[in-house]
Amino acid sequence: MVTLTVALGIRHFIVEARYIPSGSMLPGLQLQDRLLVEKLTYRFRSPQRGEIVVFRAPQAFDPALKQDYAAGPLRCFLVNLPFIGGLPGLQEPACEAFIKRVVAIPGDKVVVDPNGRLSINGKAVDEPYVERFCASDQGKGCQPLRAVVPPRSVLVLGDNRANSWDGRFWPGTHFLPDDQIIGRALFRFWPVASAGSLVSPDPTTQAPATPSPAPAP
């Protein structure tokens, strides 16, 4: 009993394992990848651009969705236990967890164009982790967004811009409140061939690539 209590305490307050259930973070994170999500960092600082976060489903905090998917903390606690949550009939959308990337922080003026390309405070952002943009020239554009991130919130988008239900589409609020973040995705431990750190720098602070000098005549 003591061992179980300690294990649950570690999982709830410090670190837990999660898996990738969808393709919204392709190609960087593949379906069924296993990650370690740490829960201490955001007790001491706010999320930063570029970080991958796990958070409660929009049905738990979006005003337009919450009214249809209300679920108490006790139910969500039980649903999210590894040995209970998979039982038939216990699934609850408001208790699920999502994983996306923080692309904007409070005060940022954000523009996401129909291709899914991002601009922050009037400057285009180079996002090397995004390979799947939307083909707006073929009539399959993404949902655009133009907004300012409010206090104590962040904007999160999926790396797979063409197939991600993220802040662009949430009907009641486009932003993720800080207090709905479960933790920061820190390390991928499975599959072994892809194991490694998931810590990413803020893309808005990276210097542009320096062009190669022209060859001497």
| Catalytic positions, written as ranges | 24, 100
* Contact by Cβ (8 Å): 64, 172: yes
Picking from 123, 140, 124, 122, the residue whose alpha carbon sits closest to that of residue 132 is 140
Detail the DSSP E strand segments found in the chain. 15-19, 34-38, 52-56, 97-104, 109-112, 118-120, 123-124, 145-148, 153-157, 176-177, 181-190, 196-197
Tell me the CA end-to-end span of the chain in Å, nearest whole number: 77
Rounded to an integer, what distance in angstroms lies between the CA atom of residue 138 and that of residue 80? 41
Q: Please check whether residue 67 is in contact with residue 30, taking contact to mean a CB–CB distance below 8 angstroms.
A: no
